[in-house]
Amino acid sequence: MSKSVFSVAIDGPSGAGKSTVAKAAAARCGFIYVDTGAIYRTVGLAVRRAGADPHSERAVAALLPRLSIRFDYGPDGTQRMHLDGEDVSEAIRTPEMSMYASAVSAHPAVRAYLLDMQRDMAWKNSVVMDGRDIGTVVLPDADLKIFLTASPEARARRRLAELAAKGDPSTYEEVLADMVKRDEQDSTRAAAPLKAAEDAVLVDTSDMTLDESIERVCALVRERTEAAL
Ligand code: DC
């Protein structure tokens, strides 16, 4: 019997181009793109708004039952995040929210709280899902796992360009330092640390253009879907 849905898990550090590549690959394949970092960012924003300490698992866990977080897709196909009925898709994209998201994502209670929401999407739809633990924890049976990475310097340059385009005055040194700190936090935490699944295909985008990265991922998806569907 042929499968009706196909799942692609893309993990890797921030700034490797994951979200742009995953989004473009999903569009080309006709799959739904799920940005799981945005979900963690939304929890981070809720914690910030509640004035709670993002590093305290007890304080963060106490907020979770009261949160209403959901996501849907706008007319142009972009994922929109909603917190307590408010569209917070832009509010979660600040350097401060990056740090809040990184802090709250270290708590097992937060990861457990968000697990079903993520699995549910991949159960019902063909998805390209990006994050840190998609191939290792969320979708261990994903049809294709990719670990997308790049050197810290290449990632900091890209993130700086993104921030500058939004008028953010951060410097290269600040962005690189944030990136290194977040990598450290994300890969050394006890709960679902950032690491490549054993069966993941490694894609290093340091010396690739965006188009080359997208094409590489699409080629991998084509190979696997032809074999699986
Ligand atoms: O991909 P991003 O930069 O938007 O992610 C924000 C933070 O959320 C990042 O520091 C790590 C965390 N995260 C995670 O722990 N697990 C995921 N699946 C996605 C993101």
**CATH number of the domain within which 161 lies:** 3.40.50.300
pLDDT of residue 17: 84
DSSP the chain: ---S--EEEEE--TTSSHHHHHHHHHHHHTPEEEEHHHHHHHHHHHHHHHT--TT-HHHHHHHGGG--EEEEE-TTS-EEEEETTEE-TTTT-SHHHHHHHHHHTT-HHHHHHHHHHHHHHHHHS-EEEEESSIIIII-TT-SEEEEEE--HHHHHHHHHHHHHHTT----HHHHHHHHHHHHHHHHH-SSS-S---TTPEEEE-TT--HHHHHHHHHHHHHHHHHHH-
Residue 127 domain flag? yes
Q: Is residue 2 domain-resident?
A: no
Question: Which amino acid makes up residue 222?
Answer: R
Confirm whether 170 is domain-assigned: yes
| Ligand 1 center from residue 212 Cα (angstroms) | 24
DSSP string, 53-105: -TT-HHHHHHHGGG--EEEEE-TTS-EEEEETTEE-TTTT-SHHHHHHHHHHT
Q: Is residue 49 part of a domain?
A: yes
- The reply to whether 1 falls in a domain is no
Residue 42 forms part of a structural domain: yes
Residues whose CB falls within 8 Å of the CB of residue 54, separated by 6 or more in sequence, listed in order: 44, 47, 48, 60, 99, 100, 103, 104
- Residue of 105, 121, 147 to test ligand 1 pocket, by largest number of atoms within 8 Å of CB: 105
**Residues lining ligand 1, judged by CB closer than 6 Å?**
14, 36-37, 40-41, 98, 101-102, 105, 131-134, 182, 186
Tell me, yes or no, whether 109 lies in a domain.
Answer: yes
Q: Is 31 a member of any domain?
A: yes
The answer to whether 97 and 47 have CB atoms below 8 angstroms apart is no
Ligand 1 atom, smallest distance to 118 CA = 18
Residue range(s) defining the domain that contains residue 184: 7-227
CA of 206 to the centre of ligand 1 (A): 20
Q: How far is the CA of 211 from the centre of ligand 1 (A)?
A: 23
> What local confidence, expressed as pLDDT, does residue 228 receive?
67
Number of domains composing the chain: 1
pTM of the full structure: 0.89
Per-block mean pLDDT, blocks of 10 residues, the chain (229 long): 81 88 92 96 98 98 96 91 97 94 95 95 94 94 96 92 90 94 86 90 94 94 82
pLDDT at 3: 62
Evaluate whether 122 touches 4 at the Cβ level (below 8 Å). no
Task: Determine the residue of 102, 130, 184, 188 to mutate for testing ligand 1's pocket, defined as the one with the most ligand atoms within 8 A of the Cβ atom.
Answer: 102
Distance 54 CA to ligand 1 centre (A): 14
Centroid of ligand 1 to alpha carbon of 110 (angstroms): 12
Using alpha carbons, list the distances in angstroms from residue 127 to 54, 133, 176. Answer: 30, 15, 31
Per-residue pLDDT, 76: 84
Please identify, by atom number, the ligand 1 atom nearest to the C-alpha of residue 182: 10
Between the CA of 223 and the centroid of ligand 1 the distance, in Å, is: 28
Which numbered atom of ligand 1 lies nearest the CA of 106? 15
